[in-house]
Every structure is written in C-alpha cells, then in structure tokens.
C-alpha cells in the first residue's frame, strides 16, 4: 500500500482528478485528490493532509477514479445457463455470459435455434446472437434439425463410378446406384435379387412426388399389422417410408414385388409404370 501512496504523491501535481470538499472543522472549501480505481476514500483531505485512499475489501470494487466513501459491492450474480467470464476483483464487477449453446435476449439466455431440414446454418450462434439459417441453395441439402450444420453439397455419383438414381433436393442428398438402370444399353434387366437394385427401386419409389395421403396408404398396404401413422412434412414421411422399406428388404421380403403390387393397389399406376420401365421389371 505504501508504494501506491508514493505513486499518488508523484502524480498529484499533474493529471490526478480532484473534487471539492468542505472541511467540517473550518467550513472552508478544499480541493481534494480523488482515489484511483480499486480504492476508496478512507479519509477526506484536510487543510494539512492529502486524501487517504484504501483498497476495496473483498467482493467490492471501484472501477474509476472516485471519491466514494465505500467501494461498490460486486452485485452481478450469474444465473443458471450463465457462466462467469470476468471475476469480481477490486476494479471490476463480475461479468456473466450465456453458456455454450445459448444467447442472451432481454436478460434471458435462450437456446440457439436449430435450422430445420431444407435449411442450414449460415452463421453459428454466439452468446449474444441466435443462429442464422438459410434455405439450402441449388445443389445443397440438409436433412436434419441442427444448430451447427451448414447445408451439404449433393454427392456426385459419376465421381463414385455410379449412376444417379434419385436427384437430390434441398431436403435429401442425391442417391446413387450401381444397379444398371433400364435406360442403359442392356438387353437384360437387373436381377431382382440383386441387393443394389432392390435398394435402387426402394429409393426411387420413396422419393417420387407421391402425395402424403398416398404415401401413408402405401405403407398401410405393405404393413401386415398397420401401426400408428407417421406425422410430419412430406420430407420426413419420405425418409420414414424409405427406412421402412429398407427394413423390409433386410427382413428378406420380396420387396420389389410387394412394392409393385402395393403401387397398383394404391392406384399409383403411373409410378408403377415408371419403376417397371426404369428397372426393366
Ligand atoms: C480485474 O480484472 C480485470 C478484467 O479481468 C483486469 O483487467 C484487471 O487487471 C483486474 N484488476 C486487478 C486489480 O486484478
Ligand atoms: C425437427 O424438429 C421438429 C420440431 O422439433 C420435429 O417435429 C421434426 O420431426 C424434426 N425433424 C427431424 C428430421 O429430426
Ligand atoms: C447396344 O449394344 C449392342 C451390343 O451389345 C450394340 O450392337 C448396339 O449398337 C448398342 N446400342 C446402342 C444404342 O448403343
């Protein structure tokens, strides 16, 4: 503490701020020196003596030059969903910030929004700002709710030595297949028990532009014991339908045949035709 007083004495004649104080004994106005940050006025100056400054006690602070008779209490308390980013010390109040994954809005910490399927993260959320999303542009997709993932580029089937079976959109990736499709110059259709081709048929049907009502009907027909129907957007129902068919396939059903029969039963003749033509069935 002694070096501080020394420093004050050295500074006293130049830039140190002052304040007016009425000496209670003489009733005369005095010009006192202020106390630096981290200290407070323990005794005001008198005619014969400079101001006496003392350091702030624990959990108290003064941020600026002052003539306070008491330091301020560190009165900021971090709430739940907040973390302390600056400790209380003699010169600064405590500072809190929203924890990872949250941002502050009107004093509250709110969880960063997720970008819904079809849109991706443009700018990650910060403690002060929510996530910024944007719809996936042409050639990109996002199939999940996410507060961190940007839209992803559609895969390139040719680069993988495969052919495009289903063109990607903003909700799902492009689906490739090694199954030789009907358009290619072959005189022979793909073998029905070929796993790749069966998956290609499933993918192709699942992502046709089938109305939600018809998609549900299809699933009902294919299910031996109909369960509660899936809810959601078409993209979600398509994903579920595709997962359901893939599951059937793994259960060694004759999925392709069942699917073609179901398409007919559901009166989706044009799609049945498309499948037969494309896969030479
Ligand atoms: C108090 O904390 C602030 C911010 O972390 C820092 O700049 C300052 O040097 C600290 N003061 C003391 C006296 O430790
Ligand atoms: C995304 O979140 C919504 C609402 O929480 C939910 O209904 C939907 O099923 C989710 N979609 C995916 C693909 O997880
Ligand atoms: C298809 O392949 C056969 C031989 O397998 C060939 O003679 C014919 O020219 C091909 N057709 C086309 C359109 O490429």
Maximal C-alpha separation, the chain? 117
pLDDT of residue 192: 47
Q: Which residues lie closer than 8 Å to 215 by C-beta, 6 or more apart?
A: 234, 237, 238, 241
Q: pLDDT by residue for the chain (281 residues), tens digit each?
A: 555 555 555 555 557 899 999 988 888 999 999 999 999 999 999 988 999 999 999 999 999 999 999 999 999 999 989 999 999 999 999 999 999 999 999 889 999 999 999 999 999 999 999 999 999 999 999 999 999 999 999 999 999 999 999 999 999 999 999 887 654 555 554 444 478 888 999 999 999 989 988 988 898 888 876 666 667 888 888 998 999 999 988 887 788 889 999 999 999 999 999 999 888 87
Query: What residues are in contact with ligand 2 under a 6 Å CB criterion?
Result: 116-117, 144-145, 232, 236
Report CA(119)–ligand 2 centroid distance (Å): 13
Q: Which residues lie closer than 8 Å to 245 by C-beta, 6 or more apart?
A: 202, 205, 206, 222, 255, 259
pLDDT of residue 14: 56
Pocket test for ligand 1, best of 37, 55, 85, 91 (most atoms within 8 A of CB): 91
pTM (two decimals) = 0.69
Ligand nearest to the CA of 239: 2
Ligand nearest to the CA of 187: 3
> What is the C-alpha separation between 194 and 8, in angstroms, rounded?
89
> What is the C-alpha separation between 81 and 51, in angstroms, rounded?
44
Q: How far is CA 152 from CA 141, 147, 216, 222, 233, in A?
A: 5, 14, 29, 33, 20
For the Cβ of 63 lying below 6 angstroms from any atom of ligand 1, the answer is no
pLDDT of residue 235: 86
> What is the C-alpha separation between 33 and 11, in angstroms, rounded?
10
Beta strands 102-105 and 108-111: pairing type? antiparallel
Long-range (24+ apart) CB contacts under 8 A made by 103-112 are 103/127, 103/128, 103/129, 103/130, 104/128, 105/130, 109/79, 109/81, 109/82, 112/147
Report CA(177)–ligand 3 centroid distance (Å): 22
Domains assigned to the chain: 14-73 (2.10.50.10), 100-153 (2.10.50.10), 155-279 (no CATH)
Ligand nearest to the CA of 119: 2
> What is the C-alpha separation between 24 and 222, in angstroms, rounded?
97
Structure tokens at 20: 């007016």
For the Cβ of 94 lying below 6 angstroms from any atom of ligand 1, the answer is no
- Contact of 151 with 141, CB cutoff 8 Å: yes
Pocket test for ligand 1, best of 38, 39, 59, 89 (most atoms within 8 A of CB): 89
């Amino acid at each position: 503490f002694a070096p501080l007083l020394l420093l004050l004495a050295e500074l006293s004649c130049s830039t140190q701020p002052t304040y007016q104080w009425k000496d209670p004994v003489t009733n005369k106005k005095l010009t006192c020196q202020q106390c630096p940050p981290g200290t407070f006025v323990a005794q005001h100056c008198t005619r014969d003596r400079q101001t006496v400054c003392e350091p702030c006690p624990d959990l108290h602070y003064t941020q600026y030059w002052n003539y306070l008779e008491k330091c301020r209490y560190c009165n900021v308390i971090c709430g739940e969903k907040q973390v302390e980013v600056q400790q209380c010390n003699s010169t600064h109040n405590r500072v809190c910030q929203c924890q990872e994954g949250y941002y502050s809005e009107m004093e509250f910490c709110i969880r960063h929004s997720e970008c819904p399927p079809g849109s991706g993260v443009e700018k990650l959320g910060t403690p002060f700002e929510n996530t910024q999303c944007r719809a996936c542009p042409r050639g990109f997709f996002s199939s999940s709710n996410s507060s961190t993932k940007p839209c992803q580029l559609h895969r390139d089937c040719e680069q993988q030595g495969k052919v495009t079976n289903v063109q990607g959109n903003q909700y799902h990736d492009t689906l490739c297949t090694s199954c030789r499709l009907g358009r290619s110059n072959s005189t022979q259709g793909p073998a029905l028990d070929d796993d790749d081709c069966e998956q290609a048929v499933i993918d192709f049907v699942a992502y046709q532009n089938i109305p939600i009502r018809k998609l549900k009907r299809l699933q009902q027909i294919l299910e031996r014991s109909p369960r509660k129907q899936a809810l959601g957007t078409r993209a979600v129902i398509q994903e579920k339908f595709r997962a359901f068919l893939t599951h059937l396939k793994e259960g060694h059903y004759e999925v392709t045949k069942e699917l073609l029969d179901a398409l007919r039963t559901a009166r989706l003749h044009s799609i049945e035709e498309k499948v037969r033509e494309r896969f030479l069935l």
